[in-house]
Amino acid sequence: MVNEVFSGSEAKMRRAIDAVRKELAGLRTGRANPSLVDHLRIDYYGTPTPLSQLAGISAPEARLLVIHPWDRQTLPLIEKAILKSDLGLHPINDGNAIRLPIPLLTEERRRELTRLVRKRIEEGRVSIRNARRDALDSLREMEKNKEISEDERKRAVERLQKLTDAFILEMEQTGRDKEAELLEV
């Protein structure tokens, strides 16, 4: 029973880290990365469709993304979706593909993005601590119902704290890596 609590809380903590990593991957760092546009949804025949299902996305240069749609009729739709997004990028449509030049980030924008990264990392830490709190509540409930002893609960709490600390360290390392990427010129 205690192992079930651990596996459940570990899964929640892993999902929290994965969610933060996915969110941080979408931040523009001044370097071309296909994950910048992965989250875009294109209205394709009335259905919001992820861009990755409609086109091949590549980064042939450090500051250029090229989007090759499989259906050329989707070019204007993709272009419109990029313009509407909060990316601040200006697509160049050449009739066969869309080129997205990635401009250099200003110092002010870098600081702003760094603050945003720190905020996202703190939200991730809170998610991890919430998973720990839920697990602690489950352990207390199990002790109250005489399913485990007090000693078992104390050992489980120590083990849970070590697990939480490891995930928080991983979350902080993710944040440091992204900040270093943002501040790199």
Of the candidates 57, 53, 27, 58, which has an alpha carbon nearest to the alpha carbon of residue 42? Answer: 53
Q: Where are the alpha helices (DSSP H) in the chain?
A: 2-25, 35-38, 75-84, 107-144, 150-183
Q: Is residue 2 very low, low, confident or very high in pLDDT (cuts 50, 70, 90)? A: confident
User: What structural domains and CATH numbers belong to the chain?
Assistant: 2-25+106-183 (1.10.132.20), 35-101 (3.30.1360.40)
Per-residue pLDDT for 34 more than 90? no
Averaged pLDDT for residues 76-89:
82
Rounded to an integer, what distance in angstroms lies between the CA atom of residue 41 and that of residue 47? 9
Q: Which residues of 40-64 are buried (b: 16+ CB within 10 A; e: fewer)?
A: bebebeeeebebeebbebebeeeee
Which pTM value belongs to this model? 0.69
